[in-house]
Every structure is written in structure tokens, then in C-alpha cells.
Structure 1
Amino acid sequence: GLVKVIFCDETGELLGAHLIGAEVTELIQGFATAIGLETTEEELMQIVFPHPTLSEMMHESVLDAYDKVLHL
């Protein structure tokens, strides 16, 4: 699958996310909640996601946006 996230350059706020692949309907709620709460990339990077799970794709996509990816 593919997860792409978009952040505001000035504030770091999560503006949107594109998800393609199996089970993405299970992941979109996390992004919708983060957008609704005006969550920043720094806050999302601090969240501990269980490993290995599909929800970890959210964390990895945020880290990848800032060249800090943990698992490839």
C-alpha cells in the first residue's frame, strides 16, 4: 500500500493524507482525528504505535515525510 501525508510548512499541522491499498479504511479514522485536532508532525512522531500492525503505517508515513523513517 501507499500512505502519503501533507503538512503545513509554517505550523507543522497535518493537512491531509492519501491512502491506497488493502485495509486503508481501517486507517483513515486516525488521520481524520489528527486533522480535526490540528495535530502537528512533532506530536505525531511522539505517538507509540504497536509493531507490527497496519496502524504503524500512520507513524511511518509521518516519519518518512521528514526523512526519519524507522522501518522500510
Structure 2
Amino acid sequence: MVRRWPAARQRVLWKTIFDAETGELLGAHMVGALVTEQIQGFGIARHLEATDESLLSMIFAHPTLSEAMHESILAACDQPLHQ
């Protein structure tokens, strides 16, 4: 998922990877401005052995940088918010 941070005016790339059989979060790729401010969300989810279902049920604040995490999870589960 590629999107722009309005504040940074730079493009960023987020990709979330789940195990196809168990739904367990395997990892995430993040490249671009301000991603270091958001990586802890994936680190916590990975440590807690979060699944696609558990992360899909989370509420993400709007408008915030963490919204990109939610959009990346939706895209990984074939439910993209934006086409």
C-alpha cells in the first residue's frame, strides 16, 4: 500500500504479511517518512502473536499516522479501504 503523508508530503510504503493458514502476523515492511514513529504497533502485535482477525477488529484513530497501519492490514486481508 502506497500513500502520502499530508504533513510530510512524501510517499510511504506499508506492507503487512500474515500466515495464509493461521492468520498470524508474520511481519511488516515500512519505507518512508515517519515510519519509525509507527513500527512499534507491528512490534507489539507480533510479540502478542496477533492474527489478521484480531487486528481487523481493532479501532484506529482518524486522522492519525496509525491509520496507515490499519489500511495496510485491510489490504493484506483483501479488504482495501482505497482501490
- Please give the alpha-carbon distance, in whole angstroms, between the structure 2 residues aligned to 1:58 and 1:40: 14
Q: How does 1:1-72 map to 2 (within 5 A)?
A: 1-71=12-82
- The answer for the alignment partner of 2:3 in structure 1 is none
How far apart are residue 71 of structure 1 and its match?
3.9
- Please give the alpha-carbon distance, in whole angstroms, between the structure 1 residues aligned to 2:80 and 2:63: 15
Give the aligned length: 72
- Structure number, greater radius of gyration: 2
- Please give the alpha-carbon distance, in whole angstroms, between the structure 2 residues aligned to 1:30 and 1:55: 8
- Point out where structure 2 has 5 or more consecutive residues left out of the alignment: 1-11
- Point out where structure 1 has 5 or more consecutive residues left out of the alignment: none
- Please give the alpha-carbon distance, in whole angstroms, between the structure 1 residues aligned to 2:61 and 2:74: 15
The TM-score with structure 2 as length reference comes to 0.81
How far apart are residue 65 of structure 1 and its match?
0.9
Query: Quick one: percent identity of the two aligned structures?
Result: 61
How far apart are residue 18 of structure 1 and its match?
0.4
How far apart are residue 60 of structure 1 and its match?
0.5
More strand by share: 2
How far apart are residue 27 of structure 1 and its match?
0.6
Q: Which runs of 4+ in 1 moved over 6 A?
A: none
